[in-house]
Structures are given as structure tokens and as C-alpha cells.
Amino acid sequence: MTPRVLIVEDEPDIASVLQDYLRVAGYDTEHVADGRAGLERLLQDPPELTLLDVMLPGMDGVTVLREARVHMHRPIILLTARIEEVDRLVGLDAGADDYICKPFSPREVVARVRAVLRRTQAGAAEAAPVGRALVLDETRWQATLDGAALSLTRREFHLLQVLVRSPGRIFSRGQLLDLAYDDDADVTERAVDSHVKNLRRKLAAAAPTHEWIRSVYGVGFAFEPAGAS
């Protein structure tokens, strides 16, 4: 079955170039130019993935996303005007699977669509993991990868735990501070960076071919299940 991508975008030139590139890449596409109409389509006939502009007539993209999330969990990528906007959107925790900043290259959009679909499909098949199993034993703060123990500090373990619980979700440094460091008010965002760096090094030592923790430029970090890269 050919995956269908719904494009909710009020700028006709952007919508048409995205449609062209996505079709060449093998996706079916559908386009609506209005937020309310977009929400209607999302709920009536959920596409495999939605590209959703934030600034839209009828209903803004964040509201569309929130309403849609009550009923359906298929991936949604937000298209935003500025990188600073992404920080705010992550803070709102509206439930997007990824964010793309305008202006973007259509090639980049196709790559992100492909990556998000691969990741979410990998997530759906998680019930039967094949190799590359990362297991977190929460009673002993012990993480194992393919059966081999990773020697993580308690701090690194908590950080990994927060990321792993929501695969693909992008966390800002501030959110990680709130979620993984609730017992320590003195930790800085720079410390989060250094803990993430240590975690990535330990994960990479055990499984060098997979990037478990993705950096999202200017925003934060996301956990990528194996099979997603």
C-alpha cells in the first residue's frame, strides 16, 4: 500500500512543491489549505503522515494538532516559520513527531517524512524485537543492550529512562531538567548536555551502528529505537 501524506498548508507554492517531491518519492499526497478542513480530513480518513503548517487560516496548526491527538496517533510533522518557534512548540508539548523550519528544502522534507514513518512503523512492531534490545531495569537502575550491561550512573539512567519512554519525542533541555532531575535543583542545562554526551558515548560503545539519541539542532534530544536509522 502506498502511504498517503496529507499536507495542510495555506501557501500554494509550498504545497505544490511538496506534493511534487513526495509523489516522486513514492507517496500519495493530499492537500488542504485551511486548518479546520485539515482537522476534518485527519479525523475522517487519517493519512499515514501529516505535514501541518502552524500559521493557518481557519484554525492554527497547534490547535489542529491538539484536537487530532485526542483521537488519533499517526505521525504529524509541524512546519514552522522560525527555529525559536520550535522551542515554544516543544514547550507546549503539542505532540508533534518532528518539526521542520521554513524555509526548507523539499528534499529535506522528504527525508524527514521517510525517517518519521520508518521510526513510527518500527515502534509499532516493537512487540517482537529482533536483536538490538535495550532493556531498562528500573528497580536496579541497570540498563542492558543485547544482554550486555551498560555501566550508567544513576543520573544517566534516569535521563535515558525519560527519553526511552517516549520514542521519537523531542525533549528540550529544560524539559529534561524537569523530568530527569527533579531531585536536584542545582543542575544546569549544560550539565544535561554533558550527561547526554556520556550516555551517547556508552551506547555507541555497545552498538556503534545506531544513533540512539538524536540531537535536534537548537531544540534538544530524542530517543531513536533501533531499526529507525
Per-residue binder mask for Ca ion (CB under 5 A), 52-71, x = binder: -x-x----------------
# residues contacting Ca ion (CB under 5 A):
3
Q: Which of 221, 214, 17 is nearest to 118 (CA)?
A: 214
Q: Judged by CB, which is closer to Ca ion: 53, or 156? A: 53
Residue nearest to Ca ion (CB): 55
Instruction: Name the one range near Ca ion by CB under 5 A: 5-13, 36-44, 57-65, 180-188.
Output: 5-13
> Which 81-110 residues touch Ca ion, going by CB under 5 A?
none
| Residue number with CB closer to Ca ion (55 or 179) | 55
Q: Least distance from C-beta 56 to Ca ion, angstroms?
A: 6
Least Cβ distance, residue 172 to Ca ion (angstroms): 24
List the one residue from 4, 10, 118, 204 that touches Ca ion (CB under 5 A).
10
Provide the minimum distance between the beta carbon of 65 and Ca ion in the complex, in angstroms, as a whole number. 14
Q: How far is the CB of 113 from Ca ion (least distance, A)?
A: 18
Stretch in the footprint of Ca ion (CB under 5 A) among 9-17, 131-139, 188-196, 218-226: 9-17
DSSP output for the chain: ---EEEEE-S-HHHHHHHHHHHHHTT-EEEEE-SHHHHHHHHHHS--SEEEEESS-SSS-HHHHHHHHHHH--S-EEEEES-HHHHHHHHHHT---SEEEESS--HHHHHHHHHHHHHHHHHHHTTTS--S--EEEETTTTEEEETTEEE---HHHHHHHHHHHHSTT--EEHHHHHHHH-TT-TT--HHHHHHHHHHHHHHHHHH-TT---EEEETTTEEEE--TT--
Retrieve residue 196's grid coordinates.
Answer: 547526554
Examine residue 28 and tell whether it contacts Ca ion (CB under 5 A): no
If the CB atoms of residues 53 and 98 are measured against Ca ion, the closer one turns out to be: 53
- Which residues contact Ca ion by CB under 5 A? 10, 53, 55
